[in-house]
Copies of this chain bind each other. A is one copy, B any other.
């Protein structure tokens, strides 16, 4: 993943980094930015921020009324380039669909990006929860089964580094907020080869996930299924779900 040990000295386009920072400066709390607010949020000077916003506007990525600027749907093309080019999200789709139908839950394919997992494919109920997941959504890796599965594939010392000094934001009363609990869960997952994660992100929901590897044994993501807890034990849910997940895992390994 992070193959950037040393900084490149001259192979660095400062304008690109700043421009991307400006795009990411838009958020829920700041849907419209002026040059000065953008400058404050990105750490670049006001004059420069204004130039970046004007450039982005000219390219169609942002719209503006002359003073305020806001993102235009054009920026979705950037994310789309990923879905268009990454083959994994498409390859997993039929398997997700099959598992969804057989188990009656929502299935996901997620990849790791630094501290978070990103959902890049999904299938199943469209309105599972008030916050319906959409593609590209992110959550902290430690609260969802694909995240635990992916972390369990890293060497233990890297996991320790990952856990170190992290803030564990609780989503439910059951969310682990101590590093030891999360580490124990990851260790258990590593030993078993699959992740069983209960009520970390959402009450009354459990997730079961397995990592997906390429033929070269590189871990590229994880498939998960989210099931209501009901009055089924964790082991019963695993007994139902794991064979299907494993089947998908092996089929995909020969495809990727």
Contact = CB atoms under 8 A, between A and B. Distances in A.
Interface stretch (A73-81, A191-199, A227-235): A73-81
Contact of A79 (B3, B57, B76): B76
A77 B24 contact: yes
Contact of A74 (B26, B77, B97, B113): B113
Contacts of A254: none
Interface centre among A13, A14, A28, A114 (most CB of B within 10 A): A13
A251 interface: no
Nearest to A24: B81
Interface string A1-32: 11110011001111111111001111110111
Interface string A132-164: 101111100000000000000000000000000
A127 to B, nearest CB: 6
Given A1-B63, A19-B15, A77-B24, A85 B71 contact: yes
Copies in the complex: 2
Q: Is the interface of A mostly helix, strand, loop or mixed?
A: mixed
Contacts of A134: 83, 134-135
A77 B78 CA distance: 9
B70 A75 contact: no
Nearest to A136: B76
